[in-house]
Amino acid sequence: MAQALQRAMRDAMAEDPAVHVMGEDVGTLGGVFRVTDGLAKEFGEDRCTDTPLAEAGILGAAVGMAMYGLRPVVEMQFDAFAYPAFEQLVSHVSRMRNRTRGALPMPIVVRVPYGGGIGGVEHHSDSSEAYYMATPGLHVVTPSTVPDAYGLLRAAIASDDPVIFLEPKRLYWSKAEWSPDAPAAVEPIGRAVVRRAGSSATLLTYGPSVPVCLEAAEAARDEGWDLEVVDLRSLVPFDDATVCASVRRTGRAVVVHESAGFGGPGGEIAARVTERCFHHLEAPVLRVAGFDIPYPPPMLERHHLPGVDRVLDAVARLQWEAQS
């Protein structure tokens, strides 16, 4: 996936001289996850820039660059190190278009490696999507597959609005039948996709939890459940149509994500589904999420992250008896 993301930036930079990549260690080193590897060499340090170590400064400078017509792609080194930039994000990036009546759109992409499961010490495993979702004016997207990583990042860079691009860091090393020579067509931001068709219940998920849900769906076959897995891909905008079509078909839904459940994305998603599909639902929409705790140390993270068992337990609680 790291390679697909890098290819997306390379193609965008080659096509449009306004695209600039910047962040900590993105140049010579190619980023701590090597996602920007080679870009500085190919496009020069003015197009792929090692910045001083200051997230607020990086994003604030990106705002000014965007005002002057550039399209900055900013890398935040890790989820929890993006927090110093929240001031710029919330006070300026997200509302600049609105407060200037469209005069100053903010075509900025903020790439954030996020999520746990890589054994990182504290501040290296946060799932911060709820904060971004709660800020109107931002797009929030997250790929779960290699082709999507390419397609979504191309779409994000092409977008004239700010996009928080959440990269599930434990999927960086995932491989796929994907050739950098024939990248998939770029889909617009905002479409969910059915990753696995099924009829008994729908698992609504995104990013790092997609592979977990696909595995759970396979395991569920033994229990006689045929689970559909919907990969949301974009949290803002939200694809009500694809989600509701699935839930109406299956009549049951579980939302799965690793970020904390309370005040988390699952609550919003469950509410939307309930509002739109109430008469089609055979059971309340359930949530499987990380516990409501600060991300735990690596030696305990497996107890925190929602795994296959926890997903299956939730599926089992979907009031199957009531159906007959």
Partner 1 sequence: MTVQELPGATAYPAWKLRTDPAPLLPDPEPYRVLGTEAAAGLDRELLLRLYDALVHGRRFNTQATALTKQGRLAVYPSSTGQEASEVAAALVLEERDWLFPSYRDTLAAVARGLDPVEALTLLRGDWHTGYDPRESRIAPLSTPLATQLPHAVGLAHAARLAGDDVVALAMVGDGGTSEGDFHEALNFAAVWRAPVVFLVQNNGFAISVPLAKQTAAPSLAHKAVGYGMPGRLVDGNDAAAMHQVLSEAVRRARTGGGPTLIEAVTYRMDAHTNADDATRYRADAEVEAWRAHDPVRLLEGELTGRGLLDEERRGAAAEAAEAMAADLRGRMNADPLLDPMDLFAQIYDVPTPQLREQSEQLRAELEAEAGR
Ligand X SMILES: Cc1ncc(C[n+]2csc(CCOP(=O)(O)OP(=O)(O)O)c2C)c(N)n1
Which of 20, 92, 124, 139 is an active site residue? 124
Tell me which of 105, 183, 267, 298 binds partner 1, using CB under 8 A. Answer: 298
Contact letters (x/-) for ligand X, 26-55, by CB under 6 A?
Answer: ---------------------------x--
What residues from 167 to 206 belong to the interface with ligand X (CB under 6 A)? none
Q: How far is the CB of 86 from partner 1 (least distance, A)?
A: 12
Tell me which of 24, 126, 167, 231 binds ligand X, using CB under 6 A. Answer: 24
Residues whose CB is less than 8 angstroms from the CB of residue 249 and which lie 6 or more positions away in sequence, other chains included: 199, 202, 228
Tell me which of 77, 88, 125, 127 binds ligand X, using CB under 6 A. Answer: 77
User: Which residues on adjacent β-strands are paired with residue 201?
Assistant: 227
Burial zone of 52 (CB within 10 Å; 0-12 exposed, 13-18 middle, 19+ buried):
exposed
Does residue number 316 form part of the binding site for partner 1 (CB under 8 A)? no
Does residue number 41 form part of the binding site for partner 1 (CB under 8 A)? no
Can you read off the two tokens belonging to residue 285?
């929409």
- Number of residues in contact with partner 1 under rule CB under 8 A: 38
Residue 319, Cβ neighbours under 10 Å: how many?
A: 13
* DSSP codes joined into one string, 26-55: -SSS--TTSTTTTHHHHH-TTTEEE--S-H
Closer to ligand X by Cβ: residue 24 or 231: 24
Tell me which of 29, 176, 241, 271 binds partner 1, using CB under 8 A. Answer: 29
Does residue number 81 form part of the binding site for ligand X (CB under 6 A)? yes
Closer to partner 1 by Cβ: residue 99 or 302: 302
What are the distances in angstroms from CA 257 to CA 24, 56, 213, 260? 28, 28, 10, 8
Name residue, tokens 């397609």: 151
CB-based contact 239:232 (threshold 8 Å): yes
> 52 contacts which partner out of partner 1, ligand X, none, CB within 5 to 8 A by kind?
partner 1
Rounded CA separation 112/134 (Å): 16
Q: How far is the CB of 32 from ligand X (least distance, A)?
A: 8
92 as an active site residue: the answer is: no
Catalytically active residues are 124
| Contact residues: ligand X, CB under 6 A | 24, 53, 77, 81, 84
